[in-house]
Chains A and B, each alone.
Chain A
Amino acid sequence: MSYIIKTEGLCHRYSIGTPFERTAIEDISFEARSGEFIGIIGHTGSGKSTFIQHLNGLLRPTEGKVFYEGTDIWSSKATTRDIRFKVGLVFQYPEYQLFEETVYKDIAFGPQNMKLSDEEVDRRVREAAEFAGIGEELLEKSPFELSGGQKRRVAIAGVIAMRPNVLILDEPGAGLDPRGRESIIENIRRYHRATGATVIMVTHSMEEIASTVERIVVFNRGRIAISGTPKEVFSRGDELAQMGLSVPQVTSIAKRLSELGLPVDTSVYTIEQLKTALLRLKGGGKGA
């Protein structure tokens, strides 16, 4: 079992020395295996966004350490800069960071900062555009002419183009219509399958996370409250509710059905699973 990224006792305090001082995250010990798909959930202000900015060295921990493949990412200036290319971070509403004249140039910004050759940059831009679902015809357009969803894709492509070994996304679907959301998540899944990169996704949508990730990490008040497979996490619905979170709708349905006296497996969390469980029940009912 090899850990690609790992934090130990991570702690971050904002505005130290002013009346606004507050602790955003405290004592976070987290590990991500190579190739893992992790979902991070948590209430607004639970410290998720602060946490992920530590993973690529954008925020310096007040206490604790971050390791990438065993090296402390703050051990030298060069390491910290290097880590930014290996751990790609897509911010919330990343479309606001677009600045170039054309989509192509904007996606090329990251690879160019890596000082790659022009051919390599070109290859990566086209590959990233493909992964993010941006058509060839859009590459020469101005990013400011695109629709919200397309802009989002361009911004994601801009990070993918660096071919990071760890891809972190902060609410990639936020503010998009359901179809746009699903399509972007599908692109991310495809990227994960095709490259084997570690993907860490922050989201508010339980459905999104339930059908996608292998492991869920729940943040609450700056700490990791629960960490486990979707099945393990969603079986603790009451605790989640206390943290202001919910379980996927299908889990709620299964739970309600079982409360009404039907022997349904309440640990289901995708539509497929509930369907199977209900069909089995129906079949069982016929048999009896």
Chain B
Amino acid sequence: MLKDITLGQFFPGDTLLHRLDPRTKLILTFVYIVALFVAKSYISYAVMLLFLIMSVVISKVKPKALFRGLKPIMVIIIITALLNLFYTDGNTLVEFWIFKITDAGIKSAVFMALRISMLIMGTFLLTYTTSPIDLTDGLEKLLNPLKKIKVPVHELAMMMSIALRFIPTLIEETDKIMSAQKARGADFETGNILQRAKAMLPLLVPLFVSAFRRADELAVAMEARCYHGGVGRTRMKQLRMKRRDLLGLAAGALLLGSVITLASLGL
């Protein structure tokens, strides 16, 4: 069950998508999400899907890995689709008890499910092809202007990179503690919700204890290396925009442009 958690996981590679500047990828992802919400028609969805498929092909990320990312939020997708299915007005096709299914309902349910799935897959593609460090570096650079209005951009980026950095560690730790408790006969898989919640206790207590211990140790280790925030801090690896980044941004602009045009044409 823990293996389903793929958030923040990075698959190293050397494709065009991996080499793009993280800022480009962040902007592209943002543009992609905006375009997803602008898209209203079959054609624009087809354009969006094509863009996603092309990116996946370029990145050489296995589609299976992307679908695995969808698993944990399947419930949300299904509920959203069902709500849209039953609560959209239009020409009634089927009616039973308090439910009625309309043609518009089917359309919006399909679109909603597609939209969420593509949104998740798009963002997963970002984390799959960008190392957490690059990602937060890019984010910090992008948000830099906000420092002017006293937003603690560096601190936020640092918190994010630490959080991302520790996801795999905590998963590993959870796995370990789970195994250790299983070795003492703990049962995490059977029983009703209440029993299962209670069975989590031997897992959660040690996990919290170790998370706090780790946080404490990390803080000491950072202070020992004179960390005092972002002021005056330089980087070993400077981010530089290259030609491929311009190409990437152009592709993004083209996508957004075409989707908006399609939408304004009523397609």
Contact = CB atoms under 8 A, between A and B. Distances in A.
Interface residues of A, number: 27
B242 to A, nearest CB: 25
Nearest to B205: A99
Contacts of A144: 209
Contacts, number: 67
Contact of A162 (B65, B185, B204, B210): B185
Interface stretch (A5-13, A109-117, A200-208, A226-234): A109-117
Contacts of A88: 183
A113 B185 contact: yes
A58 interface: yes
A59 to B, nearest CB: 8
A58 B182 contact: yes
The 3 A-B pairs at the shortest CB distance, nearest first, are namely: A113-B185, A99-B205, A110-B184
Contacts of B181: 97, 109
Chain B interface, >50% SS class: helix
B185 A110 contact: yes
Interface in B156-194: 173, 176-177, 179-187
Given A94-B180, A99-B202, A81 B185 contact: yes
Interface in A145-160: 158-159
B64 interface: yes
B12 interface: yes
A91 interface: yes
A159 B183 contact: yes
Interface string A53-91: 100101000000000000000000000010011001111
A159 B179 CA distance: 13
B183 A91 contact: yes
Contacts of B90: none
A113 B186 contact: yes
A91 B11 contact: no
Contact of A19 (B12, B182, B202): B12
Contacts of A58: 179, 182-183
Nearest to A53: B179
